[in-house]
RNA sequence: GCCUCCGUAGCUCAGCGGAAGAGCACCUGGCUUCGAACCAGGUGGUCGCAGGUUCGAAUCCUGCCGGGGGCUCCA
């Protein structure tokens, strides 16, 4: 590993590992070791130093010492709130405690730290030399596109991510798209952090809506209007025209709808490990088994000729019917069996549902609790609605479905990468306005374009421009990275430092938009750097060593963009010339 | 009525316990130089309102106001 660790807290590592009074320092020593192992070490070095200072000051040091990179450069490179958090433990204002801590810190020599100061209500601000950022560059190279941002925090745990789960009675619409791409990105984030992930979708291929769908197809095939309450979209007529005269309308229509859905999902790069058929639960008696388990636990009762689940005992508003008085299951019952089955395959479950299913969460969690499962191991994520716009006007109609916009139309109009990226731009907690024209735009005001463009620019420098002047990037060990001193060069490295933490955060929060935000930040840093004459990679005024150092930076930034986009399922193009893109 | 999401710059939205942000729009400036499909600078905000918790609240809690969604022996 490439970190010349000058922090003398190493002494405390050796001395303190079995020294009970310095348990806190001990904990930080181990964290420091782990950080060195993972390559990004500066944060834990500072934490270990702060922990030592705190322990020496007699403080009960918190398990997670607050340490962040302030947005305002006046506040230094790193900033800690330790003195404020611990001020209750001692007499006097936080700034005084901070002063004592800083004094103790000064005694140690901490790698890359040039100065420590107290600011505001008691922040301890560290100023570092640029070397810590050059270390970042090396670690990015070592990780590469396939390793950068990835970690093992979820290792050893399995998780099932269920998304899309649409009725096989027609095409997917734009609302499905949000859940589909969100679920897929969450699955990728969890994979990137070491989880054993199953991507799964549930097919509601049983029940009354299938018969309604079949009746609608049959009616259209006979040249009639669909029955009352039937499916009215133009696609029904189109598909009916394709349907062979002797086909079973339900089975044929089922296959047709599934094929249609699969095509769009394929176009978006979404593939499932498991397509779970609701019917299969009937075949293997899983529904009856689940009911039996609930009965055995005395979680059901009969009333008014129906079978009820005591879901109110687990926080639901009301008890829920499992078997109607006419003897049929409600929608809930097979779904309970399905979730129980998923729990037999994975440690944890994530469901991605549309906002209209929000009210369903409490009863499903209650059902899991009634079965003896931990309801907290079922994480239901709800995606708020999407409104489609084009040039400021709402788009409501689709060619085939009549009343809703098909996902296929979105992909056809803006392309798969832009569709994915645009859906992922915002938190799924907020309603989204998806402007089709904007998402397809080939200008910097479109974040998709700006990000991919940044990657293409880097490729152009590294592959084309360097070759034109007969330069190739050598081994990073031979590069003098200390030549990278320009503000915009260092800014790229700062953003690259944040990447792995952002992936971890985005995975933990199931919030891909956090990673999107980071990728945009990196692209923005790259695009600014690119236009800066002081940062030119290929230039007559540059020494060979400077060119080499900058080529290493180009590759690191490229790795960051490609890895981030890769986890999001968005392409990192080598070129974006219009004629090549079309 | 109950549950839930949202309310931050003119617009679209991040930030969700630590020292108010981005893009667009608007104003100004920059192409004989790695792609100006670009870049830089500037204007612009009592973070819906009122209490509370905290050394510290856009961020947590409570109540209200405004908007979306849901409350079915539908799926």
Q: Considering Cα of A555, then A558, then A563, then A564, what sign does the dihedral take?
A: positive
Order of strands, sheet of A67-68, starting from the edge strand that comes earlier in the sequence: A67-68, A78-80, A123-128, A113-119
Side-chain-side CA neighbours of residue A248 (13 Å):
6
Cα separation of A582 and A242, whole Å?
32
Nucleotides of B under 7 A from a protein CB: 2-7, 12-16, 18-25, 30, 33-40, 55-56, 67-75
ipTM of the complex: 0.95
Q: Measured in angstroms, what separates residue A553's CA from nucleotide B54's C1'?
A: 44
**Distance in angstroms, CA of A546 to C1' of B66?**
58
User: Whose structure tokens read 């945009």?
Assistant: A520
Q: Single out the residue of A208, A269, A210, A216 nearest to residue A238, CA to CA.
A: A216
Q: How far is the CA of A376 from the C1' of B60 (A)?
A: 21
The pLDDT value given to residue A107: 65
What pLDDT shows up at residue A6? 44
Rounded distance in angstroms from the CA atom of residue A315 to the C1' atom of nucleotide B61:
21
Nearest residue to nucleotide B5 when comparing alpha carbons to its C1'? A429
- Nearest nucleotide, C1' to the C-alpha of A535? B34
Other residues' Cβ atoms within 10 Å of the Cβ of residue A309: 26
From the CA of A529 to the C1' of B38: give the distance in Å.
12
Of all protein residues, which has its CA closest to the C1' atom of B24? A445
Helix (H) or strand (E) holding A275: strand A274-277
Nearest nucleotide (C1') to the CA of residue A433? B12
Give A520 CA → B20 C1' in Å.
20
Angle at A25 between CA A21 and CA A31, to 5 degrees: 140
Residue nearest to nucleotide B36 (CA to C1'): A531
Distance between first and last Cα of chain A: 45
* Rounded distance between C-alpha atoms, residue A355 and residue A92, angstroms: 51
Please tell me the predicted confidence (pLDDT) of residue A5: 45
A263 CA to B34 C1' in angstroms comes to 40
- Tokens matching residue A539: 């230039």
Place of tokens 């330790």: A82
How large is the greatest C-alpha to C-alpha distance in chain A, in angstroms? 89
The confidence score (pLDDT) of residue A400 equals 65
SS3 of residue A67 by DSSP:
strand
Q: Confirm if A111 and A3 have CB atoms less than 8 A apart.
A: yes
Distance CA A92, CA A551 (A): 52
- Cα separation, A370 vs A336, in Å, equals 10
Tens digits of pLDDT across chain A (582 residues): 233 344 444 544 545 455 544 566 667 767 776 666 655 678 888 888 898 888 888 888 888 888 988 878 888 899 999 999 888 888 788 888 999 999 988 766 788 899 999 988 889 999 999 999 999 999 999 999 999 999 999 999 999 999 999 999 999 999 999 999 999 999 999 999 999 999 999 999 998 899 999 999 999 999 999 998 889 888 999 999 999 999 999 999 999 999 999 999 999 999 999 999 999 999 889 999 999 999 999 999 999 999 999 999 998 999 999 999 999 999 999 999 999 999 999 999 999 999 999 999 999 999 999 999 999 999 999 999 999 988 778 887 666 666 678 999 999 999 999 999 999 999 999 999 999 988 988 888 888 999 999 999 999 999 989 988 899 999 999 999 999 999 999 999 999 999 999 999 999 999 999 999 999 999 999 999 999 989 999 998 899 999 999 999 999 999 999 999 999 999 999 888 654 433
Q: Where are the alpha helices (DSSP H) in A344-434?
A: 361-370, 407-414, 416-424
- Which nucleotide shows the minimum CA-to-C1' distance to residue A465? B34
Angle at A185 between CA A181 and CA A191, to 5 degrees: 150
CA of A315 to C1' of B62 (A): 21
Spatial contact of A413 and A436, defined as CB atoms under 8 Å apart: yes
Answer positive or negative: Cα dihedral of A9, A11, A16, A22. Answer: negative
Given its phi and psi angles, is residue A172 left (phi above 0), alpha (psi -120 to 50 degrees) or beta? Answer: beta
Find residue A307's DSSP bridge partners. A302, A323
Q: Which nucleotide is closest to the Cα of A278 by its C1'?
A: B75
Per residue, the 3-state secondary structure of A119-165, as one string, reads ECCCEEEEEECCHHHHHHHHHHHHHHHHHCCCCCCCCCCEEEEECCC
Q: Which nucleotide is nearest to A119 (CA to C1')?
A: B19
Nearest protein residue to the C1' atom of B2, measured from CA: A317
Structure tokens given for A428 = 């799924």
Pick out the nucleotide with least CA–C1' distance to A529: B39
State the Cα–Cα distance between residues A210 and A255, nearest whole angstrom: 12
Nearest to A205 by CA among A316, A283, A123: A283
- The number of residues in chain A equals 582
Which nucleotide, over all strands, has the C1' atom closest to the CA of A72?
A: B19
Instruction: Give nearest nucleotide to A206 (CA–C1').
Output: B75
As a rounded value in angstroms, the CA-to-C1' distance for A457 and B34 is 9
Q: How far is the CA of A338 from the C1' of B3 (A)?
A: 25
β-bridge partners, A128: A113
Q: How far is the CA of A97 from the C1' of B15 (A)?
A: 29
């Amino acid at each position: 590993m490439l970190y010349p660790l000058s922090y003398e807290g190493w002494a405390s590592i050796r001395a303190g590992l079995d020294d009970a009074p310095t348990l806190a320092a001990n904990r930080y020593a181990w964290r420091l070791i782990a950080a060195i192992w993972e390559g990004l070490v500066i944060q834990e070095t500072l934490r270990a130093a702060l922990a030592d200072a705190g322990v020496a000051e007699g403080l009960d040091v918190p398990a997670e010492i607050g340490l962040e990179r302030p947005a305002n450069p006046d506040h230094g490179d790193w900033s800690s709130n330790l003195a404020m958090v611990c001020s209750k433990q001692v007499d006097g204002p936080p700034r005084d405690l901070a002063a004592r801590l800083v004094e103790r810190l000064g005694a140690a020599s901490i790698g890359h730290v040039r100065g420590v100061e107290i600011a505001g209500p008691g922040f301890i601000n560290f100023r570092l030399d640029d070397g810590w950022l050059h270390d970042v560059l090396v670690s990015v190279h070592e990780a590469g596109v396939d390793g950068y941002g990835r970690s093992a925090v979820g290792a050893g745990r399995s998780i099932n991510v269920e998304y899309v789960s649409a009725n096989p009675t027609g095409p997917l619409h734009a609302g499905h798209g949000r859940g589909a791409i969100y679920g897929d990105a969450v699955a990728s984030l969890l994979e990137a952090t070491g989880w054993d992930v199953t991507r799964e979708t549930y097919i509601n291929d049983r029940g009354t809506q299938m018969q309604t769908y079949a009746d609608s197809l049959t009616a259209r095939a006979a040249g009639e209007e669909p029955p009352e309450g039937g499916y009215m979209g133009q696609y029904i007529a189109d598909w009916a025209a394709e349907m062979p005269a002797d086909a079973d309308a339900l089975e044929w229509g089922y296959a047709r709808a599934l094929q249609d859905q699969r095509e769009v999902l394929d176009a978006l790069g979404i593939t499932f490990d498991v397509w779970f058929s609701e019917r299969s639960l009937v075949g293997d008696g899983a529904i009856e088994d689940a009911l039996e388990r609930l009965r055995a636990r005395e979680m059901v009762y009969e009333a008014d000729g129906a079978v009820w689940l005591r879901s109110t005992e687990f926080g639901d508003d009301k008890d829920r019917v499992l078997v109607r008085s006419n003897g049929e299951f409600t929608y809930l019952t097979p779904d309970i069996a399905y979730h129980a089955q998923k729990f037999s395959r994975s440690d944890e479950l994530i469901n991605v549902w549309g906002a209209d299913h929000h009210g369903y969460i409490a009863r499903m969690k209650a059902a899991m609790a009634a079965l003896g499962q931990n309801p907290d191991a079922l994480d239901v994520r709800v995606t708020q609605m999407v409104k489609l716009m084009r040039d400021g006007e709402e788009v409501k109609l689709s060619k085939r479905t009549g009343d809703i916009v098909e996902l296929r139309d979105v992909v056809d109009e803006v392309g798969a990468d832009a569709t994915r990226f645009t859906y992922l731009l915002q938190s799924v907690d907020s309603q989204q306005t998806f402007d089709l024209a904007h998402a397809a735009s080939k200008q910097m005001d479109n974040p998709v374009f700006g990000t991919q463009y940044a990657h293409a620019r880097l490729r152009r420098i590294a592959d084309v421009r360097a070759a034109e002047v007969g330069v190739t990037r050598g081994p990073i060990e031979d590069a003098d990275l200390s030549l990278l001193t320009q503000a915009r060069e260092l800014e790229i490295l700062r953003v690259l430092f944040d990447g792995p933490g952002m992936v971890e955060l985005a995975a933990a929060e199931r919030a891909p938009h956090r990673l999107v935000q980071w990728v945009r930040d990196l692209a923005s840093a790259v695009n600014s750097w690119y236009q800066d004459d002081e940062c030119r990679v290929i230039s007559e005024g540059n020494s060979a060593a400077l060119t080499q150092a900058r080529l290493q930076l180009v590759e690191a930034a490229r790795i960051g963009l490609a890895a981030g986009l890769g986890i999001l399922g968005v392409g990192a193009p080598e070129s974006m010339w219009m004629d090549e893109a079309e």
